[in-house]
Amino acid sequence: MRRILIATSNPGKVRDFAGAAAPHGIEIGSIPGFASLPAVVEDGVTFEENARKKAEEYSRHAAGEIVVADDSGLEVDALGGAPGVHSARYAADQPHLADENTDDGANNARVLRELRKVPAEKRAGRFVCVLAAARDGRTLATFRGTAEGVILDSPRGTGGFGYDPLFYFPQIQKTFAELTAEEKARYSHRGAAFRQFLEWCDAGSRESGRA
């Protein structure tokens, strides 16, 4: 079984990746001693910049291994694309200067406050995920996935993390916090990006097999 290391301490992300990878014969692992590694400053202005920066830096701590890092977040049209790359720190007074992520509940509360007077038909938004795969400090490839939805005026569901309870997915009439692990792998932005990554892995394996 092939092994891919995921640069995250978020157990929700690890579950999302592991469930999608298993059918491809790929084991998802964590970078040894990840919690003790210096945090990478996510100061990029795009999801791709942050994902590449994290993948490259963390891959230097796992020689020869493929390391995958992602940057993902919520873009709300009525908020001019915010929270965007600041999604995990949106509750901070100045999210672009915050050193640490803020609480999911506080982030959700800020989005709800800012959308308080916005009618339902103008609450369109999307989840965006960019994955970067790197080895020994060099990016090998990047992958982008999106999911289009509507931001509710109150949370629904107890699963997921982040903005999942507010993000209603019309295609199956559920919020992301109401999805099973299988549904989330099928419909989410992270699932879409990770499927592209898995196809890339499979293509690489086929090439190696023919070599």
Q: Supply the DSSP string of 42-63, one letter for each residue.
A: ---SSHHHHHHHHHHHHHTTST
Which tokens hold the place of 176? 């992301």
pLDDT for position 97: 80
Q: What is the CATH number of the domain that holds 146?
A: 3.90.950.10
Q: Residue 45: what pLDDT? A: 93
Mean pLDDT computed over 87-109? 91
Confidence of residue 17 (pLDDT cuts 50, 70, 90): confident
pLDDT of residue 108: 97
Mean pLDDT estimate for the chain: 91
Structural domain containing residue 182: 2-210
How confident is the model at residue 18, as a pLDDT?
Answer: 82
At 74, is the pLDDT very low, low, confident or very high (cuts 50, 70, 90)?
very high
How far, in whole angstroms, is CA 96 from its chain's centroid?
18
Active site residues: 71
Task: Provide the 10 A C-beta neighbour count for residue 154.
Answer: 8
Strand duo 174-175 + 138-151: pairing: unpaired
Using alpha carbons only, give the angle 46, 125, 181 rounded to the nearest 5 degrees: 90
Residue pair 7/34 in contact (Cβ under 8 Å)? The answer is: yes
The pLDDT of residue 100 is: 84
Contact 55, 69 (CB under 8 A): yes
What was the pLDDT predicted at 185? 81
Length of the chain: 211
pLDDT of 208 above 70: no
* Predicted pLDDT of residue 207: 60
Neighbours of 112 (CB within 10 A): 15
Give CA–CA dist 7/1, Å, rounded. 19
Q: What is the pLDDT of residue 87?
A: 96
- 36-53 per-position pLDDT tens digit: 999 898 899 999 999 999
- Confidence at 184, pLDDT banded by 50, 70, 90: confident
pLDDT digits (tens, 9 = 90+) for 106-123: 999 999 999 999 999 999
Quick: pLDDT tens for 148-183: 999 999 999 998 899 999 999 999 999 999 998 788
Domain count, the chain: 1
